A and B are shown apart, each in its own frame.
Chain A
């Protein structure tokens, strides 16, 4: 699964730790999701969407889907 987490985070000038604190997860978790090494659960994906004020599909895309 692809995601725009890094771009969205950079736009807001947040560090991985900042985003982790907002989500209640570790910096390692944010790093793993950002790099596509770990796909978050649906509840965490909703939480991420809420933090950015976007819909899930505006952040996460299927592998090979157009950005």
Chain B
């Protein structure tokens, strides 16, 4: 026995949520051939099939690329601070990929470690995430190598699985998921078969051991020469979460805001003295792998990667975590032999 919903009913549900004034976002073909997670203004914009995954990540609905922290005004007497409006708008993220949803519990840790990030946490609480299991994967996908899979339930409030014929099996995983689909589901005999995932490409433990022992290895410059130092990988990664804090305004007033930042930029580690501890692209690429497979796991017990493959698909020169890590594994096993 399972609970199911038809595609038409799902779209109706989405249309209803939009009509209620909720912010609804999901995969949307923003232009021919380019599917991104984007706010939907009508349920017809929701794209459910015909692509591997959106080119951006879901994190921007929880941890936006630009967020105002507070405002300030310089008066004759001093500085006045103004709080930002507390967040109230509920949002529903629909047809998210499991690799995007799984990133959020991983991010929860860093945003609630020494400092509880209110903006992040309130967005998390106000958000319901409905994932759609992947029916297809491409050669950039590697969720199975980091302990996830095409139907991973982690981070989802409800999981949809394709049954064929425009029907989805719905697995409500949390209270939020249950209340979203309350009264909308049909009982059915059909049970979705689990979709097959990509082949396992590497052992995360081997990667971790390699980066720990090979910080100065010639592997890094040799494998990362092509990197041009843009932030396309980090900014479309569901788990990359570095940010920069800036003041923007004029001599009278302004805002303090946080913007995404990336360890691939030269300025990321530049000291005021002019010294840069990561002076070149190989050291920055190494940092990216090191952070994902050693530093984060050591600190929070989780790999900072969900295997979505966005880094590879968006890299203008065909790199990405998988390509670096897969070559690293072969050179690690090579040195062990």
A interacts with B: no
Query: Residues on A close to B: CB < 8 A?
Result: none
Query: Residues on B close to A: CB < 8 A?
Result: none
